[in-house]
Amino acid sequence: MFVPDYDEYYSLESYASRFVSDPEEVVKVYLASKSALANLALSEKAEGNDLFRHEMLERIIAEEGSEIGAKELIERTNSLLLYVENDQVFAHRRVYNDFVGFLFENNVVR
């Protein structure tokens, strides 16, 4: 069973704020992307989260264009690699690194 070590979690908004004026929107777009959701599923499995609800994530991915917030994503999937505190999304290093890659791929970071 995966037990989160919150020292390995980083704020997505904090990183994005270095490059954009609306980091919340960038995080929202990232969490709505199929690649981010697929990475989340793989990362949850790799970290041993047996409670992660893959079937719910598949439903979310199938709801093309649906943008759910981080809190709802966490609740619906039992994700342990994300958490929300003070309206900021914190991500485990695996997800955080994928987010950084997403920013580069989408020319947010140059």
83 backbone dihedrals φ, ψ, rounded to 5°: -150, 160
Q: Quick check: is 11 in a domain?
A: yes
Number of domains in the chain: 1
Domain that holds residue 91: 6-105
Indicate the helix (H) or strand (E) that contains 90. strand 88-92
Q: Quick check: is 110 in a domain?
A: no
Q: Quick check: is 28 in a domain?
A: yes
Q: Quick check: is 81 in a domain?
A: yes
Q: Quick check: is 1 in a domain?
A: no
Q: Quick check: is 41 in a domain?
A: yes
pLDDT bucket at 3, cuts 50 / 70 / 90: confident
pLDDT in tens, 49-85: 999 999 998 888 887 656 788 999 999 999 999 999 9
Q: What is the pLDDT of residue 63?
A: 79
* Model confidence pTM above 0.85: yes
Q: What is the pLDDT of residue 66?
A: 66
Q: Which two tokens stand for residue 67?
A: 């943008």
